[in-house]
Amino acid sequence: MNELSNETRVILIGGSSHVGKSTLGQSLAAKLGWSYRSTDKLARHPGHPWVGANRNAIPEHVAEHYGTLSVDALFVDVLSHYEKNVLPQVEIIVHSHASDLSTECLILEGSALWPEFVANLVSENGVKAIWLTASDQLFSYRIFSESDFYNVSEDKKHLIQKFLDRTLLYNKRMREKVEHLEFICIDVESVSGADELSKKCMELMQVF
């Protein structure tokens, strides 16, 4: 059942890596009976510099990316990727779902939803947006835990630290942009769990 006003057909969820966008997006999609998509699937970019259980080696291009670029350069590079390779697809997807009543309503989440890039979309009818943020400590805990930071080599620790530093820089700059544009932002540590987070987000977006 659609609990939103009749005009709203798309919700955008932005935020840095590991802040909880996919968890919130899937929760809201389930509550509202909407479809769910992540911008991560729209275009490739060097991902995180660690591997899952089925792989032993970080891809060479990923290691080179984090090993050679400064934190500032990593930040500029990922924003450039989002703007050039992801944003055009996001605009098509959002316009389609917002204007075509025959399409499903959509939850779209991803770090590619940089506030300035999607400001024009958020100002249109049928689109609402929220950004998630968290403390440096929470980002560090989540990234170190997922990457098994304390059990890898020093070389790999260096790459993971660069990823973390880029994540923290992204989060800092994102919060500044969100505040400047007067968009909705919520600290995920202000709630006790995924269900409470989805409820608070619905309240902030005036979803009843």
pLDDT score at 206: 77
Residue 207 confidence class, pLDDT cut points 50, 70, 90:
low
Q: Which residues contact 203 (CB under 8 A, 6 or more apart)?
A: none
Among residues 110, 86, 94, which one has the least CA distance to residue 24?
A: 110
Q: What is the pLDDT of residue 2?
A: 45
Residues 6+ apart with CB under 8 A from 83: 114, 117
Write the pLDDT tens digit of every residue in 3-14.
444 578 999 999
Return the structure tokens found at 40.
């991560």
Beta bridge partners of 107: 11, 36
Q: What is the DSSP letter of 185?
A: E
Q: What is the reported pLDDT for 5?
A: 46
Give the burial string for 88-103 (b: 16+ CB within 10 Å, else e): eebeebbeebbeeeee
Which tens digits make up the pLDDT trace of 111-161?
A: 999 999 999 999 878 899 999 999 999 999 999 999 999 999 999 999 999
Tens-place pLDDT, residues 52-109: 755 568 899 999 999 999 999 999 999 999 999 999 999 999 999 998 888 899 999 9
The pLDDT value given to residue 106? 96
Q: Which of 9, 31, 12 is nearest to 198 (CA)?
A: 31
- How far apart CA 104 and CA 173 sit, in angstroms, is 33
Helix (H, G, I), strand (E, B) or coil at 43: coil
Helix or strand or coil: residue 167? helix
Does residue 57 or residue 208 have the better pLDDT? 57
- Report, as an integer, the average pLDDT of 19-23: 96
Is this prediction's pTM over 0.85? yes
Predicted confidence (pLDDT) per residue in 144-203, tens digit: 999 999 999 999 999 999 999 999 999 999 999 999 999 999 999 999 888 899 999 888
